[in-house]
Amino acid sequence: MKGVLAAVVLIAAFAVACDRGAGGGPGITVVIAEYSKDHTRGFWQALAEQYTKQGGPKVDLRIIDWNSIDQQVTTMIQNNQPPDVLNLNSFSSYARDGLLYPAEDVLSPNTREDFLEAFARGGQYQGKLYGLPILSSARAFFYNRDLFAKAGLEAPPKTWNDFVQHAKKLQALGGGVIGYAMPLGPEEAQAEWAIWMWNGGGDWKQADAWAINSDANVRTLTFLADLANRQRVTQVNPGKTNRTDGAFQLFKDGKVGMVIGFSPLAKQLDAEGKVKYGVAEMPTTLGKPTTLGVEDYLMAFKKKDNRDAVKKFLDLYYQPDNITKWITAEGFLPVTKSGLERMRSNAALAPYLDALPNARLAPTTDPAWDRVKLDVQQNIGAAVQPGGNPKGVLDQLQRNAVAAAGAR
Amino acid sequence: MRAEAPAPARAVKGRRWEALLWLGPSLALIAGVVFYPAVALVHASLGRYSITGVYQGSVGADNYVRLLQQPALSTVLTNTVVWVGAVVAVTVVVSLALAQLLNQPFPGRALVRWALIVPWAASLIMTSKLFVWIYDYYFGALNRLLTSAGVLARPVDWLGDDATVMGAMIAVGIFVSLPFTTYVVLAGLASIPGEVYEAARVDGASRWATYRRLTLPLLKPALLVAVVLNVIYVFNSFPIVWTLNDRNPGFAHDTMVTFMYKIAFKSALRDVGLAAALGVVNVLLILVAVLAYLRTVRWDDGEAAASGRA
């Protein structure tokens, strides 16, 4: 009897203790997306220790992989246990729902002024900075030098006509060589699409209204569908190929002539040393090529009595030594003026740093984008499958985007 | 008498309290793990949520109405029926044969029995990833095998071609369901007493007749368990469909469970309330399916019928 009673009391005490631990208390919860298995946890663990050593409260650090981070964060908020600091690729829905501190509440002026102009703009919701840039990347055009030499190609293509000719010659090499690897599967289709869209003269929006099915965009998507089904210079089923384990994997295996990549891909290629590759600007129909810049964010959640702790943590991350150390380790690009200065000396990053000023960002400042992005990811691939209907797909995306702009 | 009566009553009362204390932890566990999530699910299905997960108030049955209006619903329902039906049917048939084989004494039987456990013990995600590579168009072992053996003239994009995706997923579903089912059938076989076979031999029954009229009826309870549990497992199976189908846009190859996940987190709907409504529908659906099945096979007199015929 006594033993049982003791056990029950113990269980109850344990439950209460667990509740304390999870329910905020004096610590802060920091959720970070896993950019790489090698570097992400190591860096943030060290930063958390440094923070606590400098007198900050304990940090409950959670590193979550990209595939499940949306789900886990939604669940946390749904259960009324939002993190204190969150790292994600979107922010404006959170700002709209009134969950976030504006930057002036949680960042010292020096840090705020250090942000590169474009990225500070990309973190604004209704004129206020909520999405603090954590790092950036820029896409670039990758080509396989060995395959180019074999096909008698001297330089990467500058125009779309060049591009088609190059792709045909590469594909004609035979032996399983693929001219261009096009990942329009659900993983990251919006990025692949945006780069082609911009270089075809289109955009997500015209003025302030969605313009996904503009004539220019229909032309561009038809061009991509033709690459797959008429010219047949892509891998099989490009509308069902993801980026990481699809297009990049094929390029790393030396099977692909051209692909749109970014600096972490270059890092992996260098480490493997199997493929001799070059990096160039995108082929374009415009006078000047443009590329996609990607900005990820840190957000500070409004919770009772956490402002000072959060401010201290953010200021620690944005110390030039810390932020540059991490961005360099992960192979990404800077978001601060001081970081840009420091990383200039790295020759391997030169093509991306040069591309950065011309890079365009996705419309992340519009909360509707969070739905439009998912819609594009899930549906645009259908347009480049055999029998696909580019205009029909874009019309549907446009209708949904307009509806999303009205919904919450 | 009078003096004695209250004593046992107090003892019984005391023991009742004691019993409650012993049951307490498991009751609390059931309340926390089964009851609370069920209530939370129903509550969520009646609410409206922002894309971030913020609760915005009750909407009554609105989510259920919207669920019925989803254009993908009929496709997903059909997929689910095909997926569950094919996996469970083929699994049971193959398991019957496998169990018969493993019930015979032969050298190395213990080893084979152990080997059968492997796909069961491996994590479903690992197994699914493995099959993604086996099925791969460019690097996959399956295409290499079939083209070099002359079965296929050219490789097939098993996971990208709309005609083959479901079949490829069903094959993996069967592969991971076989061990459990085979062991249930094996246990059923072990419970059949040897005398009934002796009697059949004395009566001069052929081997096939013995199997059909003796073994199968006596296996009925085991088969019932195997079918019901498999229907539930396969219906709820997430990792296989999710992993093998992750490259395909839209909902063309989703089952109810992956559809629910996509509604909540991956599609433009991004709606926790709508997904919770689908979750409730899923529970009801599986309940109805299992009850209907048990009714048609009349599970309560299953054993009686079997022994009667034997």
- Predicted pLDDT at A355: 78
- Predicted pLDDT at A408: 59
Domain that holds residue B281: 62-309
Q: How far is B261 from chain A (nearest CA, A)?
A: 9
> How many residues are recorded in chain A?
408
Instruction: Give the model confidence (pLDDT) of A38-73 as tens digits.
Output: 899 999 999 999 999 999 999 999 999 988 899 999
- A28 has pLDDT over 80: yes
Rounded to an integer, what distance in angstroms lies between the CA atom of residue A41 and that of residue A61? 9
- Predicted pLDDT at A104: 95
Contact B49 A78 (CB under 8 A): yes
Residue B14 in any domain: the answer is: no
Pick B22's closest partner by Cβ from A4, A176, A371.
Answer: A4
Contact B138 A74 (CB under 8 A): no
- Which residues in chain A have Cβ-Cβ distances shorter than 8 Å to B21? 1, 4-5, 8
- Predicted pLDDT at B3: 47
Average of pLDDT values for A89-113?
A: 95
Q: What is the mean pLDDT of chain B?
A: 90
- Which residue would you say has higher pLDDT here, B163 or A17? B163
Whether B111 and chain A come into contact, CB under 8 Å, resolves to no
Q: How far is A286 from chain B (nearest CA, A)?
A: 30
- Residue B232, C-beta contacts closer than 8 angstroms, at least 6 positions apart: B286, B290
Pick B21's closest partner by Cβ from A4, A187, A404.
Answer: A4
Pick A74's closest partner by Cβ from B18, B52, B247.
Answer: B52
Whether B114 and chain A come into contact, CB under 8 Å, resolves to no
- Contact between residue A386 and residue A240 where contact means Cβ atoms under 8 Å apart: no
Average of pLDDT values for B193-202?
A: 90
Residue A323 amino acid letter: I
Most B CBs within 10 Å, among A4, A10, A66, A74, to test the B interface: A74
Alpha helix segments (H runs only) across A138-234: 145-150, 160-171, 189-199, 215-229
The CATH number fitting domain A139-293+366-406, selected from 3.30.1300.10, 3.30.70.2740, 3.40.190.10, 3.90.1150.10: 3.40.190.10
Instruction: Give the model confidence (pLDDT) of B239-264 as tens digits.
Output: 999 999 999 999 999 999 999 999 99
- B77 has pLDDT over 80: yes
Band of pLDDT at residue A20, cut at 50, 70 and 90: very low
Q: Which of B11-15, B188-192, B273-277 has the lowest mean pLDDT?
A: B11-15
- Contact between residue B259 and residue B241 where contact means Cβ atoms under 8 Å apart: no
- Which residues in chain B have Cβ-Cβ distances shorter than 8 Å to A370? 51, 270
Band of pLDDT at residue A320, cut at 50, 70 and 90: very high
Q: What is the mean pLDDT of chain A?
A: 91
Contact B25 A7 (CB under 8 A): yes
Instruction: Give the model confidence (pLDDT) of A225-274 as tens digits.
Output: 999 999 999 999 999 999 988 999 999 999 999 999 998 899 889 999 99
Instruction: Kindly list the distances between the CA atom of residue A4 and the CA atoms of A217, B15, B27, B202, in Å, as whole numbers in the listed order.
Output: 71, 13, 14, 58
Q: Which of A112-116, A367-371, B8-12, B302-306 has the lowest mean pLDDT?
A: B302-306
Counting one residue from chain A and one from chain B, the pairs whose CB atoms sit within 8 A come to 114
Q: Indicate the number of domains in chain B.
A: 1
Contact B53 A77 (CB under 8 A): yes
- Contact between residue A32 and residue A62 where contact means Cβ atoms under 8 Å apart: yes
- A24 has pLDDT over 80: no
> Residues A58, A63, A67, CA angle at the centre, nearest 5°?
155
- B149 has pLDDT over 60: yes
- Predicted pLDDT at A16: 42
Instruction: Give the model confidence (pLDDT) of B124-143 as tens digits.
Output: 999 999 999 999 999 999 99
Among B10, B13, B179, B22, smallest CA distance to B99 is for: B179
Whether B70 and chain A come into contact, CB under 8 Å, resolves to no
What string of DSSP letters covers A50-110? HHHHTT---EEEEEE-HHHHHHHHHHHHHTT---SEEEES--HHHHHTT-B--HHHHS-HH
Share of chain A above pLDDT 70, in %: 94
- Predicted pLDDT at A12: 46
- Which residues in chain A have Cβ-Cβ distances shorter than 8 Å to B246? 185-187, 242
Instruction: Give the model confidence (pLDDT) of A162-173 as tens digits.
Output: 999 999 999 999
Whether B107 and chain A come into contact, CB under 8 Å, resolves to no
ipTM of the modeled complex: 0.86
Residue B24 in any domain: the answer is: no
Rounded to an integer, what distance in angstroms lies between the CA atom of residue B239 and that of residue A249? 22
Backbone angles phi, psi at A122, to 5 degrees: -70, -10
Name the closest residue on chain A to residue B132, using Cα atoms: A245
Average of pLDDT values for B71-96?
A: 97
Whether B36 and chain A come into contact, CB under 8 Å, resolves to no
Rounded to an integer, what distance in angstroms lies between the CA atom of residue B114 and that of residue A374? 44
- Which residues in chain B have Cβ-Cβ distances shorter than 8 Å to A237? 137, 157, 160-161
Average of pLDDT values for B5-10?
A: 54
Rounded to an integer, what distance in angstroms lies between the CA atom of residue B132 and that of residue A240? 13
Band of pLDDT at residue A3, cut at 50, 70 and 90: very low
**Strand bridging mode A132-144 / A85-88:** unpaired
Most A CBs within 10 Å, among B22, B27, B51, to test the A interface: B51
Whether B24 and chain A come into contact, CB under 8 Å, resolves to yes
CATH number of the CATH domain containing B128: 1.10.3720.10
Among B242, B261, B263, B264, smallest CA distance to B253 is for: B242
Average of pLDDT values for A282-311?
A: 94
Average of pLDDT values for A131-155?
A: 96
Q: Is A123 strand, coil or helix? A: coil
- Predicted pLDDT at B205: 86
A340's enclosing H/E stretch is helix A337-343
- Predicted pLDDT at A348: 81
- Which residues in chain A have Cβ-Cβ distances shorter than 8 Å to B268? 371-372, 374-375, 378, 400, 404
Contact A371 B268 (CB under 8 A): yes
- A406 has pLDDT over 90: no
- A120 has pLDDT over 70: yes
Contact B157 A237 (CB under 8 A): yes
Name the closest residue on chain B to residue A253, using Cα atoms: B139
For domain A20-137+294-361, give the CATH superfamily. Answer: Periplasmic binding protein-like II (3.40.190.10)
Contact B52 A77 (CB under 8 A): yes
- Predicted pLDDT at B121: 86
- A9 has pLDDT over 60: no
Start-end of CATH 3.40.190.10 domains in chain A: 20-137+294-361, 139-293+366-406
- A17 has pLDDT over 60: no
- Predicted pLDDT at A6: 47
Among B79, B78, B44, B57, smallest CA distance to B264 is for: B44
What string of DSSP letters covers B268-302? TT--HHHHHHHHHHHHHHHHHHHHHHHHHHTGGGH
Residue B88 in any domain: the answer is: yes
Rounded to an integer, what distance in angstroms lies between the CA atom of residue A320 and that of residue A334? 10
- Which residues in chain B have Cβ-Cβ distances shorter than 8 Å to A250? 138
Q: How far is B9 from chain A (nearest CA, A)?
A: 19
- Predicted pLDDT at B9: 56
